[in-house]
Amino acid sequence: MAKRQINTKDPDLLARLWNNIVLSLRLMLDHRVSGRAKLIPLLALLYMISPIDFLPEIAFGPLGAVDDMGVLLLALQLFINSAPKDVLRAYRGEAPLEDEEPEQPRASWRSRFQRRPPAEGNVIEGEYQVRDEDY
């Protein structure tokens, strides 16, 4: 299946919005994008369906929908900018830069707290005593 070239310099706002939505959906399904970054569009959708608004639709009419769309546009752009650059280039059909190395995925929070065996040169041997004396 051939990849479609997406022109990101297109001045048409609706076309850019559609391209960002499609790109965001693809990035949401990609395992190379971190889970923390995937929270951004989910929180924006949660804001859109929540009854709490900066500009409520009941009081401001159609102007109240503007803040929902603004939050969605901002969240999509933030999500796309937080995705790894090599993944974005792959989805946009661009060639990777020659001097660029692929970004390594961040370690998960579980791996930070797992017990690791000590390295060969980092072992300190010693003796200790347990005393039940009050000083």
Q: 10 Å Cβ neighbour count for 79? A: 23
Q: Is the model's pTM score more than 0.85?
A: no
Backbone φ and ψ of 132, nearest 5°: -105, 45
Contact 47, 71 (CB under 8 A): yes
Each residue's pLDDT tens digit in the chain (135 positions)? 455 565 555 567 778 788 888 999 999 999 999 999 999 999 998 988 887 777 777 777 777 777 888 888 899 999 999 999 888 888 887 766 666 565 565 566 666 666 666 667 676 778 888 887 776
Per residue in 107-129, is it b (16+ CB within 10 Å) or e — as a string? eeeeeeeeeeeeeeeeeeeeeee
